[in-house]
Amino acid sequence: MPTSRLDQQLAFLCEIDQLKNVIRQSPLLDGRRKENSAEHSWHLAMYALLLKDYADEQADLSRVIQMLLIHDIVEVDVGDMPIHQMPSATLQAAQEELAAKRLFGMIPGAQGPELLALWREFEQGISADAKFAKALDRVQPLLINVRTGGGTWTENNVTLEQVLERYGPTIQRGAPALWERCEQWVRQHFAALEC
């Protein structure tokens, strides 16, 4: 058991190395393999950095980036829950809450509770920062699917209506201007399938 504050912090940083082995449903853009949750988190932080001006309300970029960096850390314990194969939302939330308590509980002092609170804020999706972060967490896989000829939509026989329903409200709520462009792509993608 690490005893010093620094050693405890480093033990947490080593523990979350496992996020690099959590495989998501989305492919890389070149289709060579599926994306993992660590590199997905990096990419989302870059989305926030580039697209900060599209937040619906005044969002704090630093907090949004921190949220996105930590938003998937619970997957070290519970794995990725694909949007198109959702089990019980209540069960998932309970498992993720347990994982969050264990993982952020490894961090000494005030820092652990602070990051746990930030993770919960993201999950709740109510604050301006959380709404924008959640919107980006939908935009990135949507863009991957559009750019890879369907991606997880094709694999899961997802319809236009299901895409509009599963991505639309979350993106619309946090970044309406992004949803406007996303909706165009989505409709073009499904229209092309009918040709």
| Residues within the interface to a copy of itself (CB under 8 A) | 6-7, 9-10, 12-14, 16-21, 28-30, 32, 35-36, 38-39, 41-43, 45-47, 49-51, 54, 61-62, 65-66, 69-70, 107, 111, 115, 140, 143, 147, 177-178, 181
Closest CB to a copy of itself among 29 and 91?
29
- As a whole number of angstroms, the distance between CA 153 and CA 159 comes to 7
Closest CB to a copy of itself among 87 and 176?
176
Query: What single DSSP character describes residue 76?
Result: H
Report, in Å, the least distance between residue 4 CB and a copy of itself. Answer: 8
- As a whole number of angstroms, the distance between CA 103 and CA 168 comes to 31
Closest CB to a copy of itself among 29 and 94?
29
Q: How far apart are the first and last CA of the chain?
A: 61
Closest CB to a copy of itself among 19 and 130?
19
Burial class (CB in 10 A: 0-12, 13-18, 19+), 192: exposed
Distance set, CA 91 to CA 96, 102, 141, 154 (Å) = 9, 17, 24, 27
Report, in Å, the least distance between residue 9 CB and a copy of itself. Answer: 5
- Number of Cβ atoms within 10 Å of the Cβ of 125: 17
Report, in Å, the least distance between residue 130 CB and a copy of itself. Answer: 17
Report, in Å, the least distance between residue 141 CB and a copy of itself. Answer: 12
